[in-house]
Structure 1
Amino acid sequence: MTLSRFSTDVYAHRLSAAAAAAGEAGLAGLVITPGYDLRYLVGSRAQTFERLTALVLPAQGEPTVVVPRLELAALKESAVPELGVTVRDWVDGEDPYRMVVDALGGQAVAVTDAMPALHLLPLTELLGVVPVLATDVLRRLRMIKDGAEIDALRKAGAAIDRVHARVPEFLVPGRTEADVAADIAEAIVAEGHSEVAFIIVGSGPNGADPHHECSDRELQAGDIVVVDIGGPYQPGYNSDCTRTYSIGEPDPEVARRYAVLQRAQQAAVDVVRPGVTAEQVDAAARDVLAAEGLAEGFVHRTGHGIGLSVHEEPYIVAGNNLPLEVGMAFSVEPGVYFPGQWGARIEDIVIVTADGAESVNNQPHELVVVPAR
């Protein structure tokens, strides 16, 4: 059975680092309700309800989990019991927000960006000040993947590679995009993912829409098909990989433009290393396309960070001068789109190493030609 979380020492280190970061930011502590931040810090997959569940992490002192008594069972699969974190359960009629404030020991508080307004407003009223977002405190911790996270991303990448290896058998003229997506969904789970996060099957003109999902359009000989797929792999780290397929031999001009895109994607991967900025990676891909007159066809950023969330920091986009560091993980996915005609995208997840980038995706980058059978 695949573990649903990391070992307890991983979470103990994260709690200590997050508390230290809160202190360095001049905060009394953090309040983290269910979501990716809570899962990152203690491995909890608790859900948000109208009754408050929150991890209270003071900059000084021991952490506390405030939880409704009827939700106590939700903590059993997390690292909370093994971490020795104080658990304060409450029942209807008690004030959980007062429990949170008492456990903090100060007013300068940061809250997770996933905290619902129904919890933020009563907490704010008791504190007497509006909390800030914990994003700035947790950003670097979540961006720099540790060894356990990198291993999980590698496994997720290998699993989605196995799915892409099966995609050509699904691309049969006369089948609909929805038919293909259903087969891919089954394959994603069969190859080890816990569930499907997203599936894009964009054939012909639908491939020119970067966020097209799937439709009842039937595949045809001559179609260029964009397939962008991914999902979480235990303990919850995501895959995300795009390859582009041609049903039958492509038109020579399509092949030429695709070859330029392939060079652009490789140029962006090649420039990745510590100290290079996120916007420089974006520019590396964009410059190759611009030199061939294809700049206007590239309508989105070059990439996004990935981990527990499919989209997280760092964002590989113009204007982001964040220097890359060892352990950052993100997509490199330039695309070209020609409305009403076709589109193409190539996407790998890469991890920054001491001297470059490690790709967790290793399926061929060439335009995959599928027989028009």
Structure 2
Amino acid sequence: MRARRERALAVAQRLGADGVLAADVSTVAWLTGFETDIESGPSPFALPPLAVVTPDGPPLLVVSEDDAPRIPDDCRACLYAGGTVEELDPVGGAIRALELATDGRMLASEPSFLSTTLASVLRIVDATAELRLVRAVKDPDEIDLLQAAVELCDVGQAEARAHVLPGISEIELWARVRGAMEQAAGGRIPVLADLASGPRTAETGGAPGLRVLTDGDLVICDLVPRLQGYWGDSCATLEVGEPAASARSKHRLVADALERGIEAVRPGVVAGDLDQLVRAGLDYPHHTGHGLGTSWHEEPRVVPGGRTRLEPGMALALEPGVYDGDGGVRLEQVVVVTEGGCTILSNHSLEL
């Protein structure tokens, strides 16, 4: 993590700042290891965490007292009152803590993640774009964490494949899939997902519902679990019963597109060019791919016109698809850019 902090401080130095004020929760996690609870939503007792990183010492987290037990060992904290029997004032508490933590220094920050009230007491320069790009290149320990998260995806995909049967509902299937991933993780984890069947697959996916699977259904299973602060991602399309000829045809188109993309990944490739190569002959309404890390969608964005050049250490989830009135097919694998091409982290079946 020290190397990540040094790279962030180099950004601050180039911008004439004394340090970094991380305001995007994904950047906070990247610099400190402090994870935000995504399931409870915005807290009524506290603002999102902030982190001050300077050359002078360990990072300083600005969080409520409720979060004190979760502060990493190599970080300090500037705390304010959280859940209390007194009158709640998370904004005022955060401002006072932030003023102490920043001590009037000019800091490179991410102002779009700060309220105008907080920003008004700070001296900041916008480093959002620069920090996103340095976050995109992963250190070796980050790649290990991504691999572990992707292995949870493999567990979930295997569980889905084992239970895609007529008579099971989407939500029942999802309960099995999530349970298998959490069993493998050893506890509760945040998980995002598309798990949609039949005609719902034509709309690219969606959250699991009460629809019951029947013979001939396609099922899109896109799993995005977070483990130790890093997100995995994977997608398979499954068939209930024997695949129809139309499903096999769509599946082959998507599998070929994914293979084209993986073969083309190497340093220097422009994200928009990669999108064009994979998208050729297909007409899907979403991105071709995206970066993975402490956010489940980050740079590089593989979209039309994307300008980021791939570099060794970047992690990409590539996910082309085909969607029509008979249903949709999407396949996704995670790769890491290497000096000579890429390494595939995913190991789940892509068969129908």
* TM tier relative to shorter chain: 0.7 to 0.9
Residues 188 and 196 in structure 1, CA contact (< 8 A), matched pair in contact too: no
Residues 173 and 220 in structure 1, CA contact (< 8 A), matched pair in contact too: yes
Residues 61 and 75 in structure 2, CA contact (< 8 A), matched pair in contact too: no
Q: How does 1:158-173 map to 2 (within 5 A)?
A: 158-173=151-166
Match in the other structure for 2:349: 364
Which residues of structure 2 form unaligned runs of 5+?
38-42, 82-91
Separation in structure 1 between the aligned mates of residue 136 and residue 30 of structure 2, nearest angstrom: 11
The residue type paired with residue 37 of structure 1 is: T
Separation in structure 1 between the aligned mates of residue 63 and residue 225 of structure 2, nearest angstrom: 31
Match in the other structure for 1:56: 52
Q: How does 1:1-373 map to 2 (within 5 A)?
A: 10=1, 12-33=2-23, 35-45=25-35, 49-50=45-46, 54-58=50-54, 61-62=56-57, 65=60, 67=62, 70=65, 73-74=68-69, 76-80=71-75, 88=78, 95-104=96-105, 106=106, 109-112=107-110, 115-117=113-115, 120-124=116-120, 126-127=121-122, 131-192=124-185, 194-233=188-227, 235-287=228-280, 290=281, 295-296=282-283, 298-339=284-325, 341-367=326-352
CA distance 1:76–1:352, shift in 2 (3 Å): same
CA distance 1:330–1:173, shift in 2 (3 Å): same
Separation in structure 2 between the aligned mates of residue 318 and residue 68 of structure 1, nearest angstrom: 39
How far 1:260 moved relative to its partner? 1.3
Separation in structure 1 between the aligned mates of residue 48 and residue 164 of structure 2, nearest angstrom: 47
CA distance 1:99–1:282, shift in 2 (3 Å): same
Match in the other structure for 1:370: none
Provide, for residues 80-135 of structure 1, a one-character-per-residue CA deviation record: whole Å limited to 9, x for no partner: 15xxxxx555678893343245251x4xx432357441xx42442x34x7x44432
TM-score (norm 1): 0.81
Aligned to 1:349, what secondary structure does the other structure show?
Answer: strand
Residues 34 and 45 in structure 1, CA contact (< 8 A), matched pair in contact too: no
Residues 268 and 310 in structure 2, CA contact (< 8 A), matched pair in contact too: yes
Separation in structure 2 between the aligned mates of residue 171 and residue 342 of structure 1, nearest angstrom: 16
Which residues of structure 1 form unaligned runs of 5+?
1-9, 82-86, 368-373
Percent identity between the aligned chains?
29
Aligned to 1:195, what secondary structure does the other structure show?
Answer: coil
Aligned to 2:295, what secondary structure does the other structure show?
Answer: coil
Provide, for residues 147-204 of structure 1, a one-character-per-residue CA deviation record: whole Å limited to 9, x for no partner: 0011111122222212212222221212211111111111111122751412222111
TM-align CA RMSD: 2.7
How far 1:69 moved relative to its partner? 7.8
The residue type paired with residue 110 of structure 1 is: A
Residues 43 and 79 in structure 1, CA contact (< 8 A), matched pair in contact too: no
TM-score (norm 2): 0.85
Residues 46 and 74 in structure 1, CA contact (< 8 A), matched pair in contact too: no
CA distance 1:262–1:134, shift in 2 (3 Å): same
